[in-house]
Amino acid sequence: MDLLFLGKMFTENGVLPEYGLATDGILQANAAGHLFLKEITSENIPIEKVQLYFSPFTRTRQTTEAVGSVLNIPFASPQMKVTEELRERYFGPQLELQSHDHYPEIWALDEKDPFSPPEGGESVADVASRLSTIVPKIEAECEGYGILLVAHGDPLQIFQAILHASFHNHPTEKNGILEIDMPGVMTPSILSQHRKFSLLTGELRRVI
């Protein structure tokens, strides 16, 4: 949970040990690791051709550790990369550390205007902009790899929304590397529908 200034406080909260995984979360992370192993095995992707990118928050670090344990990849391995762009969406100082019961009001605002942020926080468009840089970076670093992104609900559903729109409506490449056509996907009709791509807690989903 982060961003600049007030967001710095948000980042500091997100990396505190007390905001890590509960017992159920650890079990879900292990289950996701075994499912991911099954997926890469079915695709004949060797473990050494796997790369994990994860948000810097405690719970995503712990999830990545659990998956790495299943795959026998040490957490300090170069195959695991903390990725700032995958951080949680910042919902603003008034909602910092508040109940998840506030999500519906945020999502209602998102659907009405994805360019309008909650007070002091990030809009859907803000999150989409920072996530858009990940695809070309991963493609440049990991051609032919099995990639796992370990992040948070809102960023991942926003990421899926722009990926889906880019791959199906606006595919572009530069020097052989896939790029997201940001002018093409940064529209209210695309960004306001990110809830269509919502995930369950601990869910593993293939997107490409």
Q: Is the pLDDT of residue 10 over 60?
A: no
pLDDT digits 0-9 by tens, 41-58: 999 999 999 999 999 999
Mean pLDDT of the chain, nearest integer:
85
Q: Is the pLDDT of residue 170 over 60?
A: no
pLDDT of residue 204: 92
Q: What average pLDDT does this structure show over 21-43?
A: 93
Handedness of CA 164, 53, 32, 70 (dihedral sign): positive
pLDDT digits 0-9 by tens, 104-140: 888 999 999 999 998 889 999 999 999 988 888 888 8
- Cα dihedral: 26, 31, 33, 38 (round 10): 170
> How are beta strands 50-54 and 80-82 bridged, if at all?
parallel
pLDDT of residue 4: 29
Query: What global pTM score does this model have?
Result: 0.86
Q: Is the pLDDT of residue 5 over 60?
A: no
Give the position of tokens 């920072």: 130
Map out the domains of the chain with their CATH numbers: 6-197 (3.40.50.1240)
% residues pLDDT > 90 (the chain): 58
208 band by pLDDT with thresholds 50, 70 and 90:
confident
Q: At 49, which amino acid appears?
A: K
pLDDT of residue 102: 76
pLDDT digits 0-9 by tens, 48-97: 999 999 999 999 999 999 999 999 999 999 999 999 999 999 888 876 66
Query: What is the per-residue burial (b if ≥16 Cβ within 10 Å, else e) of 15-44?
Result: beeeebbeeebbebbbbbbeebbeebeeee
Q: What average pLDDT does this structure show over 165-190?
A: 72
Residue 176: φ, ψ to 5°? 80, 5
